[in-house]
Structure 1
Amino acid sequence: MSLIHQSVGSIAKQIPGATAVFHKYDLDFCCGGKHSLAQAAHARQVDPAVVEAELMRLPAVAAQADAESAAVVACDAGHSDVLIEHILQRYHEVHRQQLPELIRLAHRVEQVHGDRDDCPVGLAAHLEAMFQALQSHMLKEEKILFPLLLAQHNAQARMPIAVMRHEHDQHGAELQKLLDLTDHITPPRAACTTWRALYGGLREFKEDLMQHIHLENNVLFLHTEQAVAAA
Structure 2
Amino acid sequence: MNLQEQTVGQLARDIPGATALFHKLKLDFCCGGNKPLAEAAAKRGLDIAELVGALEGLNPDPMDHQQTGQLDNPELIEHILTRYHDVHRQQLPELIRLAQRVERVHGGHPACPAGLGAHLEHMQQELEDHMAKEEQILFPMIARGMAGMATAPVMVMRQDHDDHGDALDTVLALTGELTLPDGACNTWRALYAGLETIRQDLMEHIHLENNVLFHRIDGRLGGMRND
State the TM-score, normalized to the length of structure 2: 0.92
Matched, 1:123 2:120: no
Which residue of structure 1 aligns with residue 169 of structure 2? 176
Which residue of structure 1 aligns with residue 70 of structure 2? 73
Which residue of structure 1 aligns with residue 194 of structure 2? 201
Extract structure 1 runs of 4+ deviating beyond 3 A: none
Which residue of structure 2 aligns with residue 40 of structure 1? 40
Deviations 1:147-188 (A, max 9, x none): 100111111101100000001011111111111111111211
Deviates more, 1:184-193 or 1:81-90: 184-193
Q: Contact between 1:21 and 1:51, CA under 8 Å: does it hold in 2?
A: no
Output the amino acid matched with 1:170.
D
Q: Gaps (5+ residues) in structure 2?
A: 220-227
Which residue of structure 2 aligns with residue 22 of structure 1? 22
Output the amino acid matched with 1:199.
Y
Which residue of structure 2 aligns with residue 141 of structure 1? 134
Q: Distance in 2 between matches of 1:150 and 1:41?
A: 36
Output the amino acid matched with 1:49.
A
Deviations 1:11-67 (A, max 9, x none): 1112221111111111100001111111111222222222222222211x7712x3x
SS at match of 1:71: coil
Q: Distance in 1 between matches of 2:173 and 2:22?
A: 18
C-alpha root-mean-square deviation of aligned residues, in Å? 1.4
SS at match of 2:21: helix
Q: Distance in 1 between matches of 2:56 and 2:76?
A: 27
State the TM-score, normalized to the length of structure 1: 0.91
Which residue of structure 2 aligns with residue 63 of structure 1? 62
Q: Distance in 2 between matches of 1:174 and 1:86?
A: 24
SS at match of 2:84: helix
Distance 1:94 1:28, change over 3 A: same
Q: Distance in 2 between matches of 1:197 and 1:52?
A: 34
Tell me which of 130, 150, 159 is aligned to 2:152: 159
The number of equivalent residue pairs is 219
Identity %: 54
